[in-house]
Chains A and B, each alone.
Chain A
């Protein structure tokens, strides 16, 4: 019964909730800057308006440029079906789904970069090269964390690892978890192109990554990209929140509300980080990502020692 209700809620959640996170982040940043800022629901307006707009295509581009956003959004949505949300099992869960999850995001990245290179602009080539490079450094950190989670939960699926994450684990393996949470937060910021890795606001600077890759996309394609980016934030946020807020009330409605609240809180924290930090020099980005790898690798070593 509960399962039957949870699937529609899960689907609704991935369909409707993600742009709100962007709104909350922007609102927080406006607050720190002493501005009123755009309404919290502005990203929804943006997406709807872009969806209705016309498109501009460069004659340099080919079918890849049009296929890019389509494949990207499909891959991210497929990945979203495997990530448990709100302390409930994901609609699709099986042994090894965390690998498929990571690789679906890889597929999305592949086609985002390919579409960027299709424009023939050096600017977008730059963004693509950076995205590809930083992904190489982020991927091992994610997998070290997955190894830690697999060891702790003795399960090899995302639902098994994250759902019912018992709070008591924090007493047993607190040190390891703390290191891993640090790594995951760095990953969350890097994968979603937030400060200190990337600045989602100023896409006209030579140091940008994600924004510059999608510079030539317009209209409905841009709407899809914007929504896809916010959905990815939700997915990484869910991974983070299930570990840091491992409480479960028993009532499924309360759990969903708690999850939503925690996600909004996370968005506020991201907003605070963005407001109080400067973006890193580009040459420092790899160092921070390697630090995330090392943190999660240490977490893995600690967990290994403990249980064997």
Chain B
């Protein structure tokens, strides 16, 4: 038997070079590139599953001659879970790319994109197996830059360049926080290798600094509110399968980082759990409120990523509060919920982004209000999108419900078990999660209803063309996983239990989640629901076949010439919620000006920008820019002088350390 780590390292390296054949031979290499990517994914998933099932952890030392000690890579159940989602989503996206961006029609962009995509996949896998600070920061940077290059592939468009720039700035700000993070860890352990889990004390001031640096550094990547500003525009402007990869996998690296960080500590201060739970509630509620106000389908999905990151954080918060109160059941439920939601979100959000890509492919617009009636043109895509939409709302019997369910049970149990201590947090978080769920349902019924149902709102939508098989297949696979995990959650529960126990040893004493969260009964009730739906459908079908069925126009309130433009639009659907939350959303609206008996043609427009970016960050940075203009002279674009800066800095550092040793 080959060691899982060999498989995973091979998969990582293979994925990184998967784009090369296409770069060499722009048209014929397409199939080879895709094949290499699939092979890499297969290897990677096999290795990850092996590592999960054998419950071992493995570490390799690689001497690389750099002054930071030998590099280290390793695999444990936590890494394995993230590897599964990296390779699953990247495989689906690379099949999809063949239909969405065929190299024969996009000779300049497709080869570059698939090269960067391969490097991105490799670096993502590299992040979760790195066990050494310098190696980690290197692959982290490769990921950031590969992703930047992939986002800006259509660099002729201004908004693409702007989105890319914003992403790059925030990514580097995050890296800066990670430098602080790793140097703090180094000052505790004296080594750049990651400490073994559970070896650091959580009560020191250094621990608090590490935790906060991790929240900023990893939080920027995950898109925790208020550090989410790069996310909407980057997701909206990237090619759709890259958006799927970013939302499904890339932002999860932030979650990975946070879980990895807390796993290093033997004790968790109570305020860590509360902070994460609170950040989760804020990201969840505000993320979904912003999502409802959007009318660009990809921006809308991007805001939902922020919401789902919030739900994942709530799970982590429950887990941490369980660790500090020493209640194993909470640790397991919270962590299992967070991990499963991470996996689920990777599945249904990439499904939805691929679906959005299929819509854009079919009718050429990201504006929901230009769509309509698409279910008749692209029925399979509509079905897959519906599965994704029901799953992301957390509705039974699909996978999104199962992970939210675990978090809910954790919250309710926490409220009952921990009552002498700190219950208000648990009790307040449950209704917040319910609010998030209801808002998400409102938002997705809007997207699905306006885009796929009713009559076409534009000529492009009326003449939408079908989606090629290479785009349908990956969506079908992802939708299948949504249904599978939803109907048989007890199948994946043992893997989550193993992982939770490997992160926090205290969790090993907890009851099986299949029992504490009654996953078996849940699965049975889901089956019962399916049977009830089947019975009701048969009865109805039978009834329809026996009674007369007539076709007639939709009732138009007595109006004789209804047009498609009279349908409810996405902005009208969201109007009441938007006005309820307008003080938060700060929408830009242009109201019509109607007066007189015969008013002229009028128009109404509304747009909800990223309020935090426009109202807080940009003014702040503009201000900083004008005040710090003195220092801009240092940055003049002359390369030789930059090298001089580096040399001067190095020499002064050497001198400083020399004197410090003497003194």
Contacts and interface: CB of A to CB of B under 8 A. Distances in A.
Interface of A: 51-64, 66-67, 69-71, 73-75, 77-78, 81-82, 92, 94-96, 99-100, 102-104, 106-107, 109-110, 113-114, 116-126, 128-130, 132-133, 135-136, 138-144, 146-147, 150-151, 154, 156, 204, 215-216, 219-221, 224, 286, 293, 297, 300, 304, 307-308
A95 B518 CA distance: 7
A299 B376 CA distance: 49
A100 B528 CA distance: 13
A100 B524 CA distance: 12
Q: Which of B432, B554, B566 has the most CB of A within 10 A?
A: B554
B437 A56 contact: no
Contacts of B452: 64
B550 A107 contact: no
B445 A114 contact: yes
B557 A123 contact: yes
B650 interface: no
Contact of A110 (B393, B553, B568): B393
A92 B420 CA distance: 31
B263 interface: no
Given A55-B549, A120-B453, A125-B567, A132 B416 contact: no
Q: Which of A70, A99, A135 has the most CB of B within 10 A?
A: A99
Given A75-B529, A128-B573, A150-B415, A54 B409 contact: no
Contacts of A120: 372-373, 453-455, 554, 564, 567
Majority-rule SS of B interface residues = helix
A132 B577 CA distance: 9
Interface string B414-438: 0110011001100100111111011
Given A74-B536, A129-B568, A139-B431, 9 more contacts: A51-B543, A63-B375, A74-B535, A95-B516, A96-B408, A150-B415, A204-B557, A224-B536, A224-B540
Contacts, number: 249
Nearest to B533: A74
A113 B562 CA distance: 21
A216 B412 contact: no
12 contacts: A53-B547, A58-B554, A64-B375, A74-B533, A94-B522, A114-B445, A114-B448, A117-B449, A117-B454, A128-B445, A140-B435, A216-B554
A17 to B, nearest CB: 19
Nearest to A55: B549
A60 B454 contact: yes
B394 interface: yes
Nearest to A62: B375
Interface string B448-461: 11101111000000
B618 interface: no
B431 A109 contact: no
B152 to A, nearest CB: 36
B607 interface: no
A171 B529 CA distance: 40
A220 B547 contact: yes
A245 B305 CA distance: 44
Nearest to B409: A96
